Amino acid sequence: MAFNPKIEVTKDGSNTLVHPKFNTHYHSIFGAIEESNHVFIDAGLKFQQPNLQDNRCRILEVGFGSGLNAFNTLISSETLALNIDYVGVEQYPISLEITSQLNFPKAFKREDLQSTFNKMHEVEWEKVVKISEHFTLEKRQQDIFNLKDQNYFDIIYYDAFGPGSQPELWTAPIFKILYKALNNKGVLVTYCAQGAARRAMQSVGFTVQRCPGPPSKRHMLRAVK
C-alpha cells in the first residue's frame, strides 16, 4: 500500500512530508536539506570516506521515505568521486503521485537531475538498479527487524521516525541487528540524541559520540562499530 503524506515546505525551501499514520514529519521543518547535509552527508559519508576501500561505499538507509537522503548521496557521489551501493529500507512506500511533486532537484539547484530523482522512485523494489555512473540503488519494502545482512555496510543512515512515534526502533534489539549489518569500523548516524537510544546503542557494542546537531537540535548521534 502506497501512502499519500502531506507535503510541507521547510525553512530552507525544501520539502518535508507528514506521515498520515504517525502524524510526524519525515524531515526537519527547520530545513530538510540542511538536516540531510549535516547528519548524513557531513557526519556520515564525509566522516567515513577516509576509511573506505577503492572509493566504494555501501550505505543502508533505514527509512527511504521521500528519497531525499538517497538523492543527496547521489549528488555527493559526484563531488566526492565515490562509487556508492545504496540500500533503502522502507515499510511504508510513498505514492508516485506524491514523490512527483517533491521539489528536491530544484531546491538543490540540480534541475538537470529531475529525471534521475524520478527514476529513483519509479524503479522496481527488491532489485539492484544502476541509477547513475557512480550510484546503484536497491529499495526494499521490509520491516527492518527482518534485516539479514551481516558485516556488509560501511554506513547506516538511521532516519526512522522518532522515539515518540516508533519507540521500538530505538531499543537494543534493533541496534543489535544494525551492529551486525555493519563492517568493522562502520558508522551509524542519526538525528536523534535521546539518552535512552544512546545507551541502547552502547549496550550492543557501539562506541557512541554526541555531535553538534542540525538547525534546532543541540546534538545528534554517531555510533562506530
Q: Where are the domains of the chain?
A: 32-224
**Average pLDDT estimate for 147-164:** 96
Residue 216 or residue 144, greater confidence: 144
With a pLDDT cut of 70, the percent of the chain lying above it is: 100
* Cβ atoms 87, 52 nearer than 8 A: no
Q: What is the pLDDT of residues 89-127, one digit of tens each?
A: 999 899 999 999 999 999 999 999 999 999 999 999 999
Q: Which of 141, 76, 68, 136 is nearest to 102 (CA)?
A: 68
User: Which has the minimum average pLDDT: 3-7, 51-55, 191-195?
Assistant: 3-7
User: Does the pLDDT of residue 163 top 80, yes or no?
Assistant: yes
CA–CA dist 178, 200 (Å, integer): 12
What integer is the mean pLDDT of 129-140? 97
How is domain 32-224 classified at the architecture level of CATH? 3-Layer(aba) Sandwich (3.40)
**Tens of pLDDT, residues 42-52:** 999 999 999 99
Task: Give whole-number Cα distances, 54 to 27, 132, 167, in Å.
Answer: 32, 18, 38
Q: What's the confidence (pLDDT) of residue 215?
A: 86
Give the tens place of pLDDT for each residue, 200-209: 999 999 999 9
Residue 216 confidence (pLDDT): 85
Query: What pLDDT was estimated at residue 212?
Result: 96
The residue assigned the cell 521547510 is 10
Q: Is the pLDDT of residue 1 over 70?
A: no
